[in-house]
Structure 1
Amino acid sequence: MKTNTPEIIYDKEGNPHEIVDFNDDYTASKLGFWLFLFTELMLFGAMFLVFAFFFYKMPDDFQTASGNLNILLGGLNTFILLLSTYFMGIALIHLREKDIDKCKKSIYITIALAFVFLVIKYIEWSIEINHGIYPDSEILNSKSNGEILFFGLYFTMTGFHGIHIIAGIALMIWVLILINKKIVNDKKYVILENISLYWDLVHLVWVFLFPLFYIIGLGG
């Protein structure tokens, strides 16, 4: 029969300590998630290194290819992600202050902004595809090797980033369910805190992607 009596252990000095279930271990939860974020940084970091290597080898081709991108749509998406990160952080603050309604509203706004980001990226990709610029297209294959590499990296890295946006939306919907079930609350909020960190990573990666792909064309 289960009881609510806490299990106690004693250290070498004889001081009692309550055993904490690993599911409620805040420190372990944070450490584990930081390790996950580190693997994500290594993954994107490897892509950035590949981009830097080929940009160093073929700067003129990369600048020419970058000039074909829509910097206004890219800049708008940058602003949208920065704004969504603000609302995600505000959601966490509201939860800690026990204002559940404002917390959920902030998460809903973040989800809406994430969908707007995806719609704009879809429009941008559609424009490029309609112009015949997509992997292994006849028009793209007729361009220089540097331009082909640029667009290969562009579709790969922005596409992979888009997958992370979709994953973030799914995580935010999940945490809303947990908030409604009161599993996540003002006392136990590490899940929302970790999702907020994940969203920080998503926006941080885009902050690097935007100048790499869009702004270098301005110098051509």
Structure 2
Amino acid sequence: MATTTATASPRWWGGGKSPFDVEYGKLMMWYFLMSDAFTFGAFLIAYGTTRFATNGWPDPNQVFKSYPLAAETANAPLVFVSIMTFILIISSVTMVLAVQAGHAMKKRSVVINLILTIIGGLAFLGCQAWEWTHLHHEGAWWGSNPFPNADGTNATTNFTNFFFTITGFHGFHVFSGVIINIVMLIMTLCNVFEKRGHYLMIEKAGLYWHFVDLVWVFVFTCFYLI
């Protein structure tokens, strides 16, 4: 009688593939991003519910009309935040290039694009710091709203409370992403990924950075455009 030998399939918890045919660490990153998306979603839904349940709301064209060097006299609605958004989008492009370079095992290109991504993240944070400082100088902060509603009536502090909370939460994510990319840069320079034979960690960091950029699109739409 012939005997058959069963071939054991690789176990995903023992270093093989996950049930979704995705590398385990990348799968965990997707789980984390999904949970983080729920948090941002809750914030934005609460903001939208409060805004459209309120009779009046400040006009973003009047609130966000300043930019550095002409903060007191500028009247350029949304120009500065558009520059911030452009910087973040460009940093997402350089992150894509870093991931692609990692797939091709091109260390030099990975280093260059990670540096550009870090610079973009720091530039965005610098712009946000200036915006917060300027708004605080005008009297805006948690519990304080100097901006009237678009119809001229007095506004509640809901606008500033939501603005500083949500943009601050997003800014913390950008800061975290910059730190992660700095760590990835150091590991690249130390040939950690070359020794491993892959740059998979760069791809995971890229997922996080693209998520941060995508969330900003919703934050930008809710606060600055609508």
- The normalised TM-score by structure 1 is 0.82
State how far apart, in whole Å, the 2-side matches of 1:86 and 1:99 are: 17
1:176 is matched with 185
**CA RMSD, 1 decimal:** 2.6
Aligned-pair CA distance for 1:16: 5.4
- In the alignment, does 2:226 pair up with 1:210? no
Aligned-pair CA distance for 1:59: 5.6
2:90 to 83, 101, 105: 83
Q: Aligned letter for 2:26?
A: K
2:120 to 113, 117, 121: 113
1:8 is matched with none
2:54 to 40, 54, 58: 58
Which secondary structure state, in structure 2, belongs to the residue aligned with residue 87 of structure 1?
Answer: helix
- 8 A Cα contact 1:65 1:151, kept in partner: no
2:68 is matched with none
Which secondary structure state, in structure 2, belongs to the residue aligned with residue 159 of structure 1?
Answer: helix
- In the alignment, does 2:170 pair up with 1:167? no
Aligned-pair CA distance for 1:130: 1.0
Name structure 1 gaps, 5 residues minimum. Answer: 1-11
Between 118-127 and 79-88, the greater mean CA deviation after superposition: 118-127
1:68 is matched with 63
Kindly indicate whether structure 1 or structure 2 has the higher relative contact order, using CA contacts under 8 Å at least 6 residues apart.
Answer: 1
- In the alignment, does 2:6 pair up with 1:14? yes
Aligned-pair CA distance for 1:135: 1.6
TM-superposition CA deviations, 1:41-71 (whole Å, max 9, x none): 010000011011012112631x436631231
Aligned-pair CA distance for 1:184: 2.1
- Structure number with higher helix proportion: 1
Change (3 A) 1:65 1:74: closer
- In the alignment, does 2:108 pair up with 1:101? yes
State how far apart, in whole Å, the 2-side matches of 1:15 and 1:182 are: 37
State how far apart, in whole Å, the 1-side matches of 2:33 and 2:12 are: 25
TM-superposition CA deviations, 1:173-217 (whole Å, max 9, x none): 11112222332248432211111000011000111111211112x
- The normalised TM-score by structure 2 is 0.80
TM-superposition CA deviations, 1:58-117 (whole Å, max 9, x none): 2631x4366312311111111111100000010011111121111110000000011110
**How many residue pairs were aligned?**
202
Between 85-94 and 172-181, the greater mean CA deviation after superposition: 172-181
